[in-house]
Every structure is written in structure tokens, then in C-alpha cells.
Amino acid sequence: MTDAYLIAELLELAKRVGREAGELLLKRPAAFEISTKSSAIDVVTQMDSQSEAHIVSEILKARPKDGIIGEEGSDRTSESGITWVIDPLDGTVNYLYGLPGWNVSIAAKDSAGVVIGVVVAPTINSTWSASRGGGAFLNDRAITCNEGVELNRALIATGFAYDVDARPAQLAQVSSLLPRIRDLRRNGAAAVDLCHVAMGALDGYFETGLKEWDLAAGGLIAAEAGAKVTTVAGTTIAAAPSLHETLAFRLSQSGQ
């Protein structure tokens, strides 16, 4: 189990490197070099790659024996017991179109799970952070999720898969929920959605098909803020425990 001193060290490193990557990304290029990943609408830019390269370089400079799991392919096996899980630009489509909410997501995990998480969203002046057992914070202010919200008063966020074949099932989920909730948001960046649950800007969030780098940092932050975060049958749900139960039930009924 990772000790408190090391957790604090990892957290400070993630905050620094996340801030630096955010500053790099704010320097938008005059033209984007765009390629695709899983589908024609799943895009990556040169800035995703530059951000990941900076993050990996700085982490390994400080901790050369750590492992890396990066969205853009910077995988490296850990020799220290610590592995970093990195999304160098979460919300690439937002970034490409000049919309807010894109972010840098950095987590570190040990054999027991995620120990620290940092999400830096420069366009909305927000840095969320958490350590295992240490609570969750927005710009160093403690945050908690919304408790006691009934489904019919809940503001819920979701996202949609880049795999278009998965979208009919997601549409069924939305169709099932929309008449039963306050309203629905689609913000375009999973890590920030999870952090919005953590701070009470959303009551709940669900999405199908998240990858480890989408979930690692934001999931810890939401959990440390009191939310229940689960992934069942490929669908991640984050909400306060009572709302989580209702939301999970409704989503399980959406295909019936």
C-alpha cells in the first residue's frame, strides 16, 4: 500500500505536470494536423501527442521507474509499483472546435487501485484533485457531491460513443431517462463530467464505453467527494449513492 508521503509527492507532481500541459494546450496552433483512431469521427491532433509527450517526459524525469498508460500510446511497464494513467487531452473535439471544458487528466495507481487524480481544465479555470482517503478539491477547496436529489429533480450528463454502432443503445438510454429527469447535458469531456458530479454542478453522470484514462482521475475525484462510481456492462455511472441506485435501475431497463 502506498504511504501518505508518497501519495502527497505523486499528487504534487500530477498538479504541476497537468498545469504545464494545460498551458501548452492553450497555445492553439494556426492549423491542426488531424488523424483518426477508432473511427472517422474519433480524432487526434498534434496537440494530443505533444501534451502526452510532455507529461510522460516530466513524470519519468521525476520517477524513472514508474509505469505509464497513455491514451496516445505511451505505454511502459512499472518497476516501482506505481503506474500513471494519462489522458493528455480529454475532449479533443471540444478543443478542435474551440469549445470549453477540454482538460488534461492524470492519475496514478498502485496494486490496490487509483491513489491520486488531477483534472486540469484551463478554459474554465478549474483544477480538481483527490487522493485516496484524502477527499476531493476544486482549486484547493474541498468539494462534495449533491445528496438527497430525486431522479425527477436530477441534472444528468452523458456522452456518446465514437463507435456509431453503439449509439442506438445509447439513444435508448437517453429516451428512457429524459422524461424522468430535470434535464440532460452533453458537455463533451468525461473527466470534467465526473468532476462536475464531485462538486455538485451535476447530480449524476453516465456513459458507455469509457476507457481507463477517461475514468481514472475523475472517478477517484467523484468517489472522494462522496459519489458512488461503478462500471457495469460497460456503462459507468457516477452519482450520490441514493440517486446512483435509481439511475442504475432506470438505465438497466432502457433496452426493454
Predicted pLDDT at 43: 52
Q: Which domains does the chain have, with CATH numbers?
A: 4-142 (3.30.540.10), 151-252 (3.40.190.80)
Q: What is the Cα–Cα distance from 194 to 192, expressed in whole angstroms? A: 5
Q: For position 41, what pLDDT does the model report?
A: 42
Confidence at residue 255, expressed as pLDDT on a 0 to 100 scale = 58
Residues of the chain with pLDDT under 70: 1, 35-44, 255-256
- pTM, two decimals, is 0.94
pLDDT at 33: 76
